[in-house]
Copies of this chain bind each other. A is one copy, B any other.
Amino acid sequence: MSLIVAKFGGSSVSDAASIRRVAGRIAQMHADGNDVVVVVSAMGDTTDELIDLSEDVCAGVEPPRREMDILLTAGERISMALLAMAINAHGVRAQSFTGQQAGVLTDSSHGDARIIDVTPGRIARCLGKGNVAIVAGFQGVNVDENDVTTLGRGGSDTTAVALAAALDADVCEIYTDVDGVFTADPRIVPTARRIRQVTSEEMLELAANGAKILHLRAVEYARRYGVTLHVRSSFSMNTGTLVVPPSEQEEPMEAPIISGVAHDRSQAKVTCVGVPDVPGAAARLFESVAAAGVNIDMIVQNVSVAGSGETDISFTLPATDISTVRPVLDELARELGYTEVLYKENVGKLSLVGAGMRSHPGVSAKLFGALRDAGVNIEMISTSEIRISVVTESDDLDTAVRAVHTAFGLDATEVEAVVYGGTGR
């Protein structure tokens, strides 16, 4: 008998039929002798519909974030109550709980609240009575005012991991619309394989570098608190991908060198041309960008041409932040004296991730070779202990991902069936 926290996203509970199907699955888990806590997102398009309504009533005025949180969390209240009813209809007692009732305590950053503590006493009592507990994902309550808050993107995954940690669950199952984490996006690489097991560190690098199946924040939480994740499909009974914390990972000698290839098309590249090559210029530049709340990913500073006293500095950031960073860089041009700022929105980033990289030299060389052979030009490079990322032209990205996937022997001999649906939150 295990304690399972199972999270079902919006695409798994998009309508009454889906809810009945998920309820049957949960009833079976319970019949198998497990204690089950279910974290559920809002049904299918509910969130988008509520956002549309808010825009309609606000007539162009930005709504208060507190009210936006109250509005959006209604979606999870609907799905959690319906799911509890559907499980009861299977003869299994189930009770639904809001974020507040489940003890998800947060700060007061409406729309993007941080979890401060999880006190799931009521959930534990519900399980103690042999009942299934259904918890609203994505929401908590702030400790100052007892106001409902939302956890931002990936909030339901985070709720599930936080509850799994607080309840010391055996596993946190993340149900989604594909069979797990793949060695690359199967839409780009049809021969991509399901990864059977990956460390949370590797998953962190994959999620941070474009793999959308799990949200970075939930993976970080799982790694920090030693929670084992099982990413699997709600549309099949197949085993998915286990994401294991460092303490439980397999022996290094068994770890594959490369876990997977992530890609990201959401970044842009900015180049400041002709930055005076004096101490502190780069520091001043990145301090100003950080002060504007923009996260920079990769940085490349060219070696200055001897005697010119000038250098070019390039960096990548989310393309959506260009409008924020543009006035900052224009302002700074006067102070630092660079001559021009170039913005390039069509860049692609490819990241090769693998814990085995640590002990296997030559991975970079093989990567660069594969890209050269595929005719893909590399614009920027950055590395971590277990990752190598390169920036390419956006148009070259698919070619690059396929070439690298093949070069590192990741291609499957048979193509696995992959089901796609919407994505939950």
Contact = CB atoms under 8 A, between A and B. Distances in A.
Interface in A64-102: 64, 66-68, 70-71, 73-75, 77-78, 80-86, 88-89, 95-96, 98, 101
A341 interface: no
Interface string A46-62: 00001001101111110
Residue of A50, A58, A75, A83 with most partner-chain B CB within 10 A: A58
B89 A58 contact: yes
Contact of A89 (B57, B74, B85, B88): B57
Size band of the interface chain A makes with B? 35 or more
Interface in A162-212: none
A71 B46 CA distance: 14
Contacts of A89: 57-61, 63
A20 B84 contact: no
Contacts of A359: none
A23 interface: yes
A324 interface: no
Contact of A71 (B60, B73, B81): B81
A101 B20 contact: no
B16 A56 contact: yes
A19 to B, nearest CB: 5
B81 A68 contact: yes
A63 to B, nearest CB: 4
B81 A95 contact: no
A67 B54 contact: no
Nearest to A59: B89
A25 to B, nearest CB: 14
A61 to B, nearest CB: 4
A54 B73 contact: no
A179 to B, nearest CB: 26
Interface in A2-46: 16, 19-20, 23
Contacts of A73: 77
Contact of A82 (B16, B53, B61, B82): B53
Contacts of A81: 54, 67-68, 70-71, 74
A320 interface: no
A74 B76 CA distance: 9
Contacts of A71: 77-78, 81-82, 85
A95 B77 contact: no
A324 to B, nearest CB: 25
A146 B23 contact: no
Nearest to A60: B89
A50 B78 contact: yes
Contacts of A78: 50, 53, 71, 74
A391 to B, nearest CB: 41
Given A64-B88, A70-B96, A74-B77, 5 more contacts: A16-B57, A19-B57, A54-B81, A71-B82, A101-B146
27 contacts: A19-B57, A50-B78, A53-B78, A54-B81, A57-B82, A57-B86, A57-B89, A58-B85, A58-B89, A63-B85, A64-B84, A64-B85, A64-B88, A64-B95, A67-B84, A67-B88, A68-B81, A68-B85, A70-B98, A71-B81, A71-B85, A73-B77, A74-B74, A74-B77, A74-B78, A77-B77, A101-B147
Interface of A: 16, 19-20, 23, 50, 53-54, 56-61, 63-64, 66-68, 70-71, 73-75, 77-78, 80-86, 88-89, 95-96, 98, 101, 146-147
Top 6 closest A-B pairs, CB basis?
A16-B56, A71-B81, A61-B89, A63-B85, A70-B81, A57-B86
